[in-house]
Structure formats: C-alpha cells, structure tokens
A = this chain, B = another copy of it.
Amino acid sequence: MSAITDVDGVLVGHHHRIGDGWVTGTTVVLTPDGAVGGVDCRGGAPGTRETDLLDPSNLVERVHAVCLTGGSAYGLAAADGVMRWLEERGHGFRVGSGAHEVVPIVPAAVLFDLPAGQWGNRPDAGFGYRACEAASGGRPAQGCVGAGAGARTGGLQGGVGTAGVSTPSGYTVGVLVAVNAAGSAVDAATGLPWAADHEVDGEFALRAPEPSEGGRAGAVAPPEPPLNTTIGVIATDAALGKAQCRRLAGAGHDGLARALRPAHTMTDGDTLFALATGAGDPVADHRVLDELCAAAAACVARSVVHGVLAATAVPGSSVPAYRDRYPAAAP
C-alpha cells in the first residue's frame, strides 16, 4: 500500500468534523498489543503528553497508541478517549492481577489549527474514541482528514500523508504525518514540492510545469496568524529498543527538514514518534539501524508531499489547496 499500515500490527483511524464551524480532527495510530516507542520533539512550541516515559532510561517500553490531534493543547483531551477505548479492550501496561487492570500508554502530540474553525470547536475525548473505532489496517485516507482536517502549510491546505518502503535488510518502514507547518512544502519558483525528488514509483504523478508557470503562481502568502506544527509517527516491523526508537524518530526530522522550508520554527511543535513492532532481540547491527533511519527520513519527506497533494479546499476556508493553486503541476 505504501502506507504506515504496511507495518504488521499497525492500525490507523481518523475522526474529524468539517462544517458548521468545525474544521478539526484526530488521528490515532493503534498498536493494541504494544510497540516499543520513542519520540523526538524538535519544534519550538510543542503540545504533548506522555513523552517523558519514552526516555530510554525510563521503565515503560511499550506504547499502545499514538494520538495525533488538532485543537492545540485543548486537543490533548482526545488521548483520554483513546485510553478509554484501549482500557475497555484490556490493552495496556498491566498494573494488577485482573486482566482489566491496565494503564494504556498513549503518547500524544497536537497541532495548532484553532483559527480554522469557530473558537471552542476542538477535539475532545470523543474524537479519540471514535478515531479508534474507525481504525483499520487498510490504507489510511489522506489530505484533510483526522488530525489534518484543519491543517495548513505555507499558505496552502495541509493534511495527512502516509508512505512506506522496504529496506535492503527486508524490514518495512511506514510513516504517517499531519502537515501543518509554518513553513512551505512547495518551491514557489517551480510550483513543485521541495521533496518531490523523494518520489518512489511515480507515486506523486506530478507534471513539471514550465518554469514560467511556477513563477507566475509565485509565492503564496502564509495565513495570518500562521498555523503551525507537523506531527507524525514512524513505524517499523524491526525489533528495536527504546533508544533505537528515539534515534528513528530523530531521523524522521531529517525528512521534515527536506520537505519543509523553514522547518522546526519556534512556532512549530514538530514532534515525531517511532513505534517498533518486531519481536525478539533488538537489531544489533548499527548499519541496519542506519537503513531504517534513512528510510524513515525518506518516508517522512514523501508523507509530507502526499499530505499536501491530497489536501482539498475546505468549506468556508479561503486557503487554496495545492491542486487548485498549481493545476499545471498537480496530478
């Protein structure tokens, strides 16, 4: 599928509301049986929960879901609903003798989409719960869905994108991001995404516009106030330890650096999580880890491109989608 759900055991669900003053949503990446987790937070304005436990020196190894959500810090409430959904099914860190005595581990990160909808309309616990109910192992919807419903980037609509790849060692790496960067994903001089060169098997289906076309379109003014933050998850079926997962998450930020200019600003809360579902001993050869990290960076870059290409105009918003702004290039 070339998606995060290429990784066995990884499910994705979206829930969003668009219309009637609402433009926001939540995406959950579910690993109900637990995946070793890591995080790297490199934006200047993050909104997060349950990231401290992912420090490699800390106790808890396994994560049961990652919650990505709109709503700025208010949206952290969505993770409450993800926890409830997992608890009802007995998924979590065991803290007692009963099968129901679990504490689901649900790290979360938010993006800032509050100006996209009416004040007060942001994800709550119900969004997280419904995103779990919608989760499946199929190819996730992209564009203005889930946590990307209200996303914008560099004056264009942002959104959810996903990509996957097999590494030379035979592992699968998949990524899902919600692109809402203060920076731009598109080179205004050419009309092409900065990371278009990361394309695999013609996946972007872009047409190279005449240089004059790109120049004619020109730079797109960022919205005021600018929205911000790109958040995402990197998953792999390799067996990794927590410290290795943190490195994988860090490598993903190289993908953001390639796909967004600028990336990691003081108003971006850019945060990437890594989940490793593989059983057995962690990868021992650092060259294999480097392969996974390179794949993570590339898949993050590709996912950003997919998120922008899949985005569509949102009712009530004057922000154009890439496909409307650069029709000569768009697929």
Q: Does A100 touch B at the CB level, under 8 Å?
A: yes
Contacting pair B58 A52 (CB below 8 A): no
A274 to chain B, nearest CB (A): 16
Q: Does A292 touch B at the CB level, under 8 Å?
A: no
Q: Which residues of B contact A96 (CB under 8 A)?
A: 114-115, 119, 225
Q: Does A41 touch B at the CB level, under 8 Å?
A: yes
Interface centre among A44, A100, A124 (most CB of B within 10 A): A44
Contacting pair B79 A83 (CB below 8 A): no
The listed residue (B46, B52, B87, B271) touching A46 by CB distance below 8 A is B52
Q: Which residues in A have some Cβ–Cβ distance to B below 8 Å?
A: 41, 43-53, 55, 57-60, 72-74, 76-77, 79-80, 83, 87, 95-96, 98, 100-101, 103-106, 112, 114-115, 119, 124-125, 225, 266-267, 269, 271
Contacting pair B73 A104 (CB below 8 A): yes
Q: A95-B112, A112-B95 are in contact. Are A52 and B41 (CB under 8 A)?
A: yes
A177 to chain B, nearest CB (A): 18
* Whole-angstrom CA separation of A48 from B53 in the bound complex: 8
Q: Which residues of B contact A87 (CB under 8 A)?
A: 74
Interface centre among A43, A52, A58, A101 (most CB of B within 10 A): A52
* Whole-angstrom CA separation of A318 from B103 in the bound complex: 24
Contacting pair B44 A72 (CB below 8 A): no
Contacting pair A51 B53 (CB below 8 A): no
Contacting pair A119 B103 (CB below 8 A): no
Q: Which residues of B contact A104 (CB under 8 A)?
A: 73
Q: A48-B50, A50-B47 are in contact. Are A103 and B73 (CB under 8 A)?
A: yes
Contacting pair A76 B72 (CB below 8 A): no
* Whole-angstrom CA separation of A96 from B96 in the bound complex: 46
The listed residue (B41, B50, B95, B266) touching A59 by CB distance below 8 A is B266
Q: Which residues of B contact A48 (CB under 8 A)?
A: 49-53
Contacting pair A72 B125 (CB below 8 A): no
CB-based closest 6 A-B pairs: A49-B49, A46-B52, A45-B59, A77-B80, A48-B52, A44-B59
